[in-house]
Amino acid sequence: MATGRELGKTRLPLWAAGFVVLICVAILGLSGWREWETRSAELRNAEIDVANLAHSLIQHADDTFELVDTILVGLVHRLEIDGTGPDTIAKLQAYLPTRKSSDRVRGIFLYDATGRWLATTERLDFSKLNNSDREYFQRHRDSPETGTLIGPPVKSRAGGQWIVTASRRINDPDGGFAGVALLTIDVGYFVNFYERFDIGPNGSASLLNTSGIMLARSRDDSGAFVGRDLSNAPLFNGWESRPAAAVYYFKSPLDGVQRLSYYQRSSRYPLMVLASKSQDDVLAPWRRAAAARTIFVLGLVLLIAVIGFYLVRQLVQRQRMARALVAKEANFRLLAEQSSDMVTRIGLDNRLLYASPSCVRIIGWSPDELLGTSAVAGIHAEDMERVEQAIVALKNGEAEEARFVYRQRHRVKGEIWVEAALHVTRASDSGQIDGVVAVVRDMTEQKDLQDKLASLATTDGLTSLANRRAFDERLADEWARARRDGTQLSLLLIDVDHFKKFNDHYGHLAGDGCLRALGRILSAQARRPADLAARYGGEEFAVLLPNTGPDGCAEVGEGIRQALHDLAMLHAQNLPSRLVTASVGAATSLPSQTTTDCSTLVAAADRALYAAKDSGRDRLVMSGQIVPWPARSA
């Protein structure tokens, strides 16, 4: 049994390499299959688009020639009843313009049995014109058929543009040939109509007759494709056996573009439409996306191959290191026993599997009391979540090590601060994570020292108020918060009146006492948790009042000034009150309505302070009461 297990371990790198190769081949195969399916889906969507377009175009063609047919039937019927005498022709010459539709019908023409023009909607002298040489005229003359004949495109003798003709034979009362009624449609009408559809930069919409003659084609303003005979094209080979409508892939004989198309034959007229898109246009978005996806897949496969290579190499190395790990386990216990820090080993169930003797000194409990208990027992509730998250992350393999400081309950001392360094441990045989090693040391003294240093960095040593640095940082934060929340922010600047004279008269110790007394007043007046009283510099102080308008700001400022009055601290050099007084400058701003920064609020309060001093001291001045900048007192 043991021999089989050892053999399995020996072959593990080979199995891992085979697995990596299998994964890479599977990813490449699935990626290729997915790209082929995506390409097919793009072509199917394009087939649906051109089919819908072809249905619309053939309906338009049927409607157009139905209108033409109706007009021709009416004209022929009238001529066969009334004859082609001068009176009838004169009436028709006046009547024909009323039957012309400006957007579909180009012109209406009537010819007698010799091809001479009888009447037309065109404004030209047609007395000497004759159309007996036209193919449609000769066919009607030679055939007794009375149906509407849709002819190939020809160049109009009236206007010179390409036109499609529709004509009917006119019979005399004896059934003999009496002439032709002709109606023309401008090829440009179809071209303009086809241009309304978005079929891509190289797509096309074509109207052909069932003989393979091109009647109209989109993007053919010059008429280069009109009249082309495509009867020898593959589409018309075995034409009779083809369905009336179908998808058709071909390489265009006109421009050499490989096309995806849909043709539809008319059920009423000898016409068909061909709506096509360039296959390159259809597949261009897919090709771009496929190229990006292919690069990504190749990169992924390369990454997997590289990782697999290193994984196999690591497995080989781990086999070599397996025996050494057993020896290191014994060394671990030896080192832990001699360490002054508390060393613990935590199992996957968060229970303590091992605790070094130093735990008595660190947290007050012996190793025997700790074994089997929860590794997070005694951790402060506010620190519990992040400690548990770190342990879970290590056990899940999301990190190899972690270091953090937290509060821990001591058996005798109560709450202490400790620093823990955690590292995962792995089973020597499988390399799987089987627990966490934690090295814990007492950080209470260092933490207290850090807190004291942090407090000294932000607190004024004389008044115990916030210092200038703390004030500037808090002002920037509150300004940003007020701008975000759309609230008001107020600032008071307080300056002790004639403080230099007070120092000179009573001495610096008394001056320090005066500043401390003012500091206590400011602390009492800044009652809300968000309010901040700070020593701004020398005998100048500041009170920051978030979410406070001008009235509230003035109330607090007046309260400070009055409280200093009520203290009744003697100041013989400060006339006329002979008491310590202060000048107060106040300013309020709505940061969300200004593009300036917080320095404008300080500047406004400073101007108000100097205005208070210039106007007699011992008073509060709001910045809104100031128009010019007062001259600074000497």
Q: What proportion of the chain, given as a percentage, has pLDDT over 90?
A: 22
Res 331: pLDDT: 52
Q: Which residue has the higher pLDDT, 404 or 210?
A: 210
Domains of the chain: total: 4
Residues 600 and 594 sit within 8 Å (Cβ to Cβ): yes
Residues 161 and 188 sit within 8 Å (Cβ to Cβ): yes
Do 201 and 180 share a structural domain?
Answer: no
> Is the pLDDT confidence value at 425 over 70?
yes
Do 486 and 464 share a structural domain?
Answer: yes
Do 594 and 469 share a structural domain?
Answer: yes
Res 585: pLDDT: 94
Please give the Cα distance from 281 to 202 (Å, whole number): 7
Do 477 and 602 share a structural domain?
Answer: yes
Tokens of 232: 């020898």
CB neighbour burial string for 483-499, b if at least 16 within 10 angstroms, e if fewer: beeebbbbbbbbbbbbb
pLDDT digits (tens, 9 = 90+) for 354-373: 887 777 777 777 778 778 88
- Name, in order, each residue with C-beta under 8 angstroms of 190's C-beta and a sequence gap of 6 or more: 61, 164, 207, 215, 216
Residues 54 and 263 sit within 8 Å (Cβ to Cβ): yes
Residues 586 and 608 sit within 8 Å (Cβ to Cβ): yes
Tokens of 245: 């409508």
Instruction: Output the domain CATH number for residue 376.
Output: 3.30.450.20
- Picking from 122-126, 263-267, 377-381, 436-440, which range would have the lowest pLDDT averaged per residue? 122-126
Do 527 and 425 share a structural domain?
Answer: no
- Picking from 55-69, 235-249, 269-283, 405-419, which range would have the lowest pLDDT averaged per residue? 405-419
Instruction: Output the domain CATH number for residue 485.
Output: 3.30.70.270
Do 619 and 526 share a structural domain?
Answer: yes
pLDDT digits (tens, 9 = 90+) for 570-628: 988 888 888 999 999 999 999 988 878 898 999 999 999 999 999 989 999 998 753 33
Q: Which residue has the higher pLDDT, 336 or 445?
A: 445
Res 5: pLDDT: 60
> Is the pLDDT confidence value at 559 over 90?
yes
- Mean residue pLDDT of the chain comes to 83
Do 199 and 142 share a structural domain?
Answer: no
Token pair 């075995």 is at which residue? 238
Do 182 and 76 share a structural domain?
Answer: yes
Tokens of 181: 């009624």
Residues 158 and 122 sit within 8 Å (Cβ to Cβ): yes
Do 588 and 521 share a structural domain?
Answer: yes
Residues 598 and 634 sit within 8 Å (Cβ to Cβ): no
Read off the pLDDT band of 329 (50, 70, 90). Answer: low
Q: Which residue has the higher pLDDT, 161 or 631?
A: 161
Mean pLDDT (whole number) for 187-199:
87
Res 534: pLDDT: 92
Q: What proportion of the chain, given as a percentage, has pLDDT over 70?
A: 90
> Is the pLDDT confidence value at 146 over 70?
yes
Taking the CB of residue 85, how many other CB atoms lie within 10 A of it? Answer: 9
pLDDT digits (tens, 9 = 90+) for 265-311: 998 899 999 999 888 888 889 989 989 999 999 999 899 889 888 88
Mean pLDDT (whole number) for 16-25:
87
Q: Which residue has the higher pLDDT, 580 or 433?
A: 580
Please give the Cα distance from 177 to 169 (Å, whole number): 7
Tell me how far apart the terminal alpha carbons of the chain are, to the nearest angstrom: 101
Tokens of 7: 């053999």
Do 581 and 465 share a structural domain?
Answer: yes
Res 459: pLDDT: 85
> Is the pLDDT confidence value at 117 over 70?
yes
Please give the Cα distance from 71 to 137 (Å, whole number): 18
Please give the Cα distance from 15 to 55 (Å, whole number): 59
Mean pLDDT (whole number) for 544-562:
92
Please give the Cα distance from 168 to 148 (Å, whole number): 5
